Amino acid sequence: MSKGTSGKDDKSTGLNFIAAHFFSLPSQGNVYSLTPLIDAKGHARLLVASLQRKVYCLEYTNGRPCKREVPFTYIPAGAEIISVDAINRSVIQEDFIIGITIIKRDDGKDQQSQFFNIYSDWDLNSDSALDIVSQNCLPLHLDFVPYHLYHTQARSKNGWETVWLLSGSDCCIHLYCSDEESYQEVNNSELFPEFQYLSEIVLQIDVSYSADSKIRTSAVACETGTVQVFRVNVEPGPQVTASHTVSWDYPVASVKIFTINTTVPLPKFLKVHRKAEDITQEPGLTHVVVATTLESCYVYRDILGSRESYELPESDRYDSVSCCITCDIDQDGENEILIGTYEQKVIMYKQNAEDFHSWDIYHSIKVPCPILALTHCDVIGDGSLQLIVMTTTGIHIFQHNPWELAPVVLKRLEALADDRLFKLSS
**Chosen domain end from 144, 173, 191:** 191
pLDDT interval class at 357 (50, 70, 90): confident
The full length of the chain comes to 426
In a domain, 393, yes or no: no
360-395 tens-digit pLDDT = 999 999 999 999 999 999 999 888 899 999 999 999
259-to-154, 216, 327, 418 alpha-carbon distances in Å: 21, 13, 10, 27
Q: Locate the DSSP E strands across 211-258.
A: 215-222, 226-233, 239-247, 252-258
Task: List pLDDT tens digits, range 24-46.
Answer: 999 999 999 999 999 878 889 99
The answer on 208 and 132 residing in a single domain is no
- The pLDDT score that the predictor gives to residue 353 is 78
| CA distance to 90, 221, 229, 298, per residue, from 246 (Å) | 38, 10, 9, 11
How far, CA to CA in Å, does 143 sit from each of 44, 105, 170?
33, 14, 9
Rounded distance, CA 304 to CA 230, Å? 8
By DSSP bridging, strand 215-222 and strand 202-209 are: antiparallel
**Domain annotation covers residue 378:** no
Q: In 43-141, which ranges are continuous DSSP H helix? A: 129-133
Residues 327 and 221 in one domain: yes
If asked whether residues 109 and 132 sit together in one domain, one would say yes
Residue 329 lies in a domain: yes
Q: Which amino acid is at 164?
A: W
Q: What pLDDT is stored for residue 425 in this prediction?
A: 53
Secondary structure class of 418 (helix, strand, coil): helix
pLDDT given at position 11: 36
Identify whether 375 is part of a domain: no
Does the residue 101 lie in any domain? yes
pLDDT tens, position by position, 134-181: 999 999 999 999 999 999 999 988 889 999 999 999 999 999 998 766
Asked if 4 and 32 sit in the same domain, the reply is no
Q: Phi first, then psi: give them for residue 57, nearest 5 degrees.
A: -110, 125
3-class DSSP state of 275: coil
Quick check: helix, strand or coil at residue 370? coil
Strand order across the beta sheet in which 239-247 lies: 202-209, 215-222, 226-233, 239-247
List phi, psi (to 5°) of 411.
-65, -40
Residues 153 and 276 in one domain: no
User: Which H or E element spans position 412?
Assistant: helix 402-425
Q: Are 46 and 384 in contact (CB under 8 A)?
A: no
Asked if 183 and 150 sit in the same domain, the reply is yes
Residue 186 shares a structural domain with residue 118:
yes
Q: Give the pLDDT of residue 93.
A: 75
Confidence of residue 75 (pLDDT cuts 50, 70, 90): very high
Q: Per-residue pLDDT tens for 173-190? A: 999 998 766 889 999 999
Burial 113-138 (b: 16+ CB within 10 A, else e): ebbbbbbbbbeeeeeebbebbbeebb
Question: How many Å is the Cα radius of gyration of the chain?
Answer: 21
The answer to whether residues 307 and 253 belong to one domain is yes
Write the DSSP symbol of residue 261: B
User: What's the domain range around 182?
Assistant: 28-191
Is residue 390 one of the residues assigned to a domain?
Answer: no
pLDDT, tens only, 282-329? 345 789 999 999 999 999 999 998 888 999 999 999 989 999 999 999
Q: Answer yes or no: is 175 within a domain.
A: yes
Q: How many domains does the chain have?
A: 2
User: Within this chain, do residues 64 and 46 fall inside the same structural domain, yes or no?
Assistant: yes
Based on the domain organization, do 132 and 238 belong to the same domain? no
270 pLDDT higher than 70: no
Q: What is the pLDDT of residue 177?
A: 93
Residue 333 confidence (pLDDT): 85
- Does a cis peptide bond (omega within 30 degrees of 0) precede residue 146? no
Provide the β-strand partners of residue 187. none
Q: What is the DSSP string of 137-195?
A: EEEEEESS-EEEEEEEEEEETTEEEEEEEEEETTS-EEEEEEETTEEEEE-TTTT-GGG
Domain boundary among 173, 191, 209: 191
Q: Could you say which of 191, 214, 238 is where a domain stops?
A: 191
List, for residues 195-213, the tens digit of each pLDDT value: 999 999 999 999 999 988 9
pLDDT of amino acid 3: 38
Instruction: Indicate if 187 and 205 belong to the same structural domain.
Output: no
d(CA 128, CA 186): 32
Note whether residue 340 is domain-resident: yes
One domain for residues 176 and 228: no
The residue that leads in pLDDT, 107 or 61, is 61
262 vs 103, residue with greater confidence: 103
Interatomic CA distance for residues 172 and 187, integer angstroms: 11
